[in-house]
Structure 1
Amino acid sequence: MPTSPTSRTAPTATGTIPAQARTATARPARVDASRWPDVAAQPKASAVRTAVAERLVRHALSRLPLRARLAGRDSIGLGGPLMEIRRPDAFFRRIGASGLIGFGESYMAGEWDSPDLVGVLTVLAGNAAGLVPAPLQRLRKLWALRQPAAQANTPEGARDNISHHYDLSNDLFALFLDETLSYSSAVFRGFPAEHELLPAAQHRKIDRLLDLARVGPGTELLEIGTGWGELSVRAAARGARVTTLTLSREQQELARARIREAGYEDRVDVRLCDYRDVTGEYDAIVSVEMIEAVGVEFWPVYFRTLERRLAPGGRVALQAITMPDDRMLASNSTYTWIQKYIFPGGMIPSVEAVERVTTAHTALRTEQCDGFGMHYAETLRLWRERFEERADRVDALGFDATFRRMWTFYLAYSEAGFRSGYLDVQQMLLIREDTA
């Protein structure tokens, strides 16, 4: 696992950068090896692996609607958003050593950049299935990095994985989220969206989920994944009694404060509790973009827990990021850049995977499923723009330039996934088959 660059770590001296150049995509002056060992060091890749990687990447880029310029000289591609590969030797060596993890680390190191990062990544995401030749895809298990056992979402591992991301700093998330502190896709009335419309769009998303679960006066509601408490507040305002679970101490502390400020402390119980340990019976269960943190091997446990905790006639409303089933099956054991740096142990399901698991292990059935991926693309755009605008304030929290590049890449990478259709987001209604 990488070193977690939390705000509690002393700021790294990265040199003085002129204000007009201090954007999230500016090349880091120096990579701190103590915080980013795999970014600071050039990986050890054999000449053969590097040469093969260069040949494959050049061939792939030559067929794509973008323009890759190598060391300011020769260009590859059919034309489109510019990808500036500043250090081709280091770029190809990283990809030869660790594939897509190396691709992301090369960006973090400033070895490549783009004035339209989302555009470049959208092209790559939209053509992901064909970037690696079919014969090599069939040999994926031989060359792809495997997920480390330390990131498995056991009860102890899940706490560590969640802490890695969500305990970074409440102040960091507050810099780019809106006032609701909702860290999941909003639902807009139209595009393009503006940041001032984001709070209403987040409430629209929450209200749709609460309506799906039929949450109202007297409802006993279980929320799996508290976030910073906005859904609990809106459910309590409807007259529900809410038990909400989180593994993040930072989130629990701030959620309790926000719930208390809203006047619903008597209606909402914020527990530091794994979903596997919750007890009781609930009229409704809501979980927003939490299944992605469960892990493939624990999906049956997760859905059996939902079933056991659901009262007769109850309803489960989930919001989940999804990906095409064939891509999920091809990559569900591969170690990715997102897993290494952003969400350890994470795995995005497909709609079909949810149906397979619930059918095989529970009596839960999908009653409704609505996708709205472009709304997530717009949500991510607004977050990314706000994050980039507030680079100085990110620095002031103790996060260095390499962190800012990592976070910008994460937000742009995610936005590109939704813009290309590689990713989608669903609101799903599950009910027990014997009460359908």
Structure 2
Amino acid sequence: MTQVAPDRRAANHWPGLHAVPSGPRAAVSARVARGLFRAAVSQLDVSVLLEGRTIGRGGPVMVIHRPEEFFARLGRDQLIGFGESYLTGAWDAEDLGGFLEVLAARMATLVPEPLQRLRRLVVRRPPAEELSSDANAQGNIAHHYDLSNELFELFLDPTLSYSSALFSASQLAARPTVEELEDAQGAKVERLLDQAGVGEGTRLLEIGSGWGELAIRAARRGATVRTITLSVEQQRLARERIGAAGFADRVEVELRDYRHVEGTFDAVVSVEMIEAVGWQYWPTYFATIDRVLAPGGRVAIQAITMPHDRMLATRNTWTWINKYIFPGGFLPSVQVIDEVTREHTTLRMAAPFSLGPSYAETLRLWDETFLAASEKVLALGFDETFLRMWHFYLEYSRAGFASGYLDVHQLTFTRESR
């Protein structure tokens, strides 16, 4: 079994998580947070049980067990405090995803517009050590992907695909089952390989190895694959899986930053890795792809995206997801990807293909499987707080896609003729 340091397995080792904000400034910010929260919730289709009263217009239920703590955290740390108060049990929601979906659908307007202008004075900026620079990138990736291969095996399907599946319209209408997830993950990968034109003799670069599924499928088509990752744990298991599939002679799994890739490739693919690049490095990321792509080559990327205006408003904000799940991560918009590639590369983007509804269902299935495996998660050395953290992360993410606030796209690029 892979051994991981205790503070990586237990969320309650995060400094200050169980210390409730106190003092005069905390008291003032808590009062402000209480007023803003009550005003926002009163306009939403939710039911919030607070101090013997119910607020909201009716819908998924939130129960605030410890109001003083909840508002103290919300006042000091905004959405980070909102998530942290869930981790400590200050509030609960039986239908957590349903409750968060209502909030996500109104994310841009929950705070009154005049106060939104003060955003820069209130929200915390990402710590410098989490900037996805050459020096920090591997640590950021290890924070999440090196937690434990066994953890991911407990809730992912047999392909170990940790990205949106692609369900058919009929599957989405009928609500996909966990038994359908493996084939839907395969459909996602095969479509991306088709878009990149991967076939017999293709020299393929994959940026972000995952646990090797895409590389295996590309090799099965006759491609030779170089796949890169910054996760030691992913590299180890990906090599094992690729070897077991009989493609060790066709696939090379390297521990390498994308910035340092050399060579020439007929196709470049990357599945949900751009989210870890950081907005400061998007030009470098795409310029690297442009540099290594052979004449006539194609690029296919799967990217989680957010609305362009929200991207601009939040790109200097440190979020709960950054602090607890993906340090250094940030979501692009489709518009900014098009703008960056046009300004910094010869790559030109074709019409985007959306998988958003499929991601909402993928996350639902992951969360259901994760919760069913709670005892096994604890047996790996994780604690009860980690269980709440991971459940919140999966449902928080699902709410983004179910509400339409987030989307995920497969984006295809070809080189502009020179």
Give the TM-score of the pair, scaled to structure 2: 0.96
How far the C-alpha of 1:62 sits from its partner, in A, is 0.7
- Separation in structure 1 between the aligned mates of residue 87 and residue 289 of structure 2, nearest angstrom: 39
1:187 to 118, 141, 166: 166
Superposition map of 1:3-402 within 5 A: 8-10=4-6, 35-44=13-22, 45-71=25-51, 73-189=52-168, 190-191=171-172, 192-402=175-385
> Closer, same or farther in 2 for the Cα pair 1:298/1:12, shift >3 Å?
closer
Equivalent residue of 2:228, what SS?
strand
Equivalent position amino acid for 1:114 in 2: A
How far the C-alpha of 1:32 sits from its partner, in A, is 7.6
Q: Deviations over 1:84-112 (max 9, x none)?
A: 11111100000111000000000000000
Equivalent position amino acid for 1:353 in 2: V
How far the C-alpha of 1:36 sits from its partner, in A, is 2.8
- Separation in structure 2 between the aligned mates of residue 141 and residue 112 of structure 1, nearest angstrom: 28
- Please tell me whether the aligned partners of residues 100 and 396 of structure 2 are also in contact (alpha carbons under 8 angstroms): yes
Q: Deviations over 1:318-341 (max 9, x none)?
A: 000001101111111111000000
- Separation in structure 2 between the aligned mates of residue 272 and residue 89 of structure 1, nearest angstrom: 47
- Separation in structure 1 between the aligned mates of residue 382 and residue 44 of structure 2, nearest angstrom: 35
Equivalent residue of 1:426, what SS?
strand
How far the C-alpha of 1:302 sits from its partner, in A, is 0.2
How far the C-alpha of 1:40 sits from its partner, in A, is 1.1
Q: Deviations over 1:57-99 (max 9, x none)?
A: 110011100000014x111000000001111110000011100
> Closer, same or farther in 2 for the Cα pair 1:354/1:32, shift >3 Å?
closer
- Separation in structure 2 between the aligned mates of residue 124 and residue 256 of structure 1, nearest angstrom: 41
- Separation in structure 2 between the aligned mates of residue 263 and residue 289 of structure 1, nearest angstrom: 26
> Closer, same or farther in 2 for the Cα pair 1:268/1:162, shift >3 Å?
same
Q: Deviations over 1:134-174 (max 9, x none)?
A: 01111110111111111011112000000000000000000
Q: Deviations over 1:359-404 (max 9, x none)?
A: 1111111023101200000000000000000100000000000001
- Separation in structure 2 between the aligned mates of residue 345 and residue 32 of structure 1, nearest angstrom: 18
- Separation in structure 1 between the aligned mates of residue 162 and residue 4 of structure 2, nearest angstrom: 22
Equivalent position amino acid for 1:57 in 2: F
> Closer, same or farther in 2 for the Cα pair 1:84/1:397, shift >3 Å?
same
Q: Deviations over 1:32-61 (max 9, x none)?
A: 85x133321112452211111110011001
Equivalent position amino acid for 2:180 in 1: L
- Separation in structure 2 between the aligned mates of residue 9 and residue 46 of structure 1, nearest angstrom: 33
- Separation in structure 2 between the aligned mates of residue 213 and residue 353 of structure 1, nearest angstrom: 21
Equivalent position amino acid for 1:74 in 2: R
Q: Structure 1 stretches (4+) deviating beyond 6 angstroms? A: none
> Closer, same or farther in 2 for the Cα pair 1:12/1:367, shift >3 Å?
closer
- Separation in structure 2 between the aligned mates of residue 342 and residue 419 of structure 1, nearest angstrom: 20
Equivalent position amino acid for 1:145 in 2: R
> Closer, same or farther in 2 for the Cα pair 1:7/1:383, shift >3 Å?
farther
Q: Deviations over 1:388-423 (max 9, x none)?
A: 001000000000000010000000000000000000
- Please tell me whether the aligned partners of residues 8 and 147 of structure 2 are also in contact (alpha carbons under 8 angstroms): no
Q: Percent identity?
A: 57
How far the C-alpha of 1:7 sits from its partner, in A, is 5.6
Equivalent residue of 2:382, what SS?
coil
Deviates more, 1:190-199 or 1:394-403: 190-199
Equivalent position amino acid for 2:340 in 1: V
Give the TM-score of the pair, scaled to structure 1: 0.92
- Separation in structure 2 between the aligned mates of residue 248 and residue 12 of structure 1, nearest angstrom: 15
> Closer, same or farther in 2 for the Cα pair 1:423/1:310, shift >3 Å?
same
Unpaired runs of 5+ residues, structure 1, are 1-5, 14-30
- Separation in structure 2 between the aligned mates of residue 37 and residue 382 of structure 1, nearest angstrom: 31
How far the C-alpha of 1:12 sits from its partner, in A, is 11
Equivalent position amino acid for 1:343 in 2: F
- Separation in structure 2 between the aligned mates of residue 195 and residue 391 of structure 1, nearest angstrom: 17
- Separation in structure 2 between the aligned mates of residue 96 and residue 295 of structure 1, nearest angstrom: 27
- Separation in structure 2 between the aligned mates of residue 377 and residue 43 of structure 1, nearest angstrom: 34
- Please tell me whether the aligned partners of residues 66 and 79 of structure 1 are also in contact (alpha carbons under 8 angstroms): yes
- Please tell me whether the aligned partners of residues 12 and 398 of structure 1 are also in contact (alpha carbons under 8 angstroms): no
- Separation in structure 2 between the aligned mates of residue 37 and residue 248 of structure 1, nearest angstrom: 25
Equivalent residue of 2:4, what SS?
coil
Equivalent residue of 1:156, what SS?
coil
* Aligned length in residues: 411
- Separation in structure 1 between the aligned mates of residue 275 and residue 302 of structure 2, nearest angstrom: 10
How far the C-alpha of 1:8 sits from its partner, in A, is 2.0
Equivalent residue of 1:231, what SS?
helix
Equivalent residue of 2:352, what SS?
strand
> Closer, same or farther in 2 for the Cα pair 1:57/1:429, shift >3 Å?
same
CA RMSD of aligned residues (A): 1.5
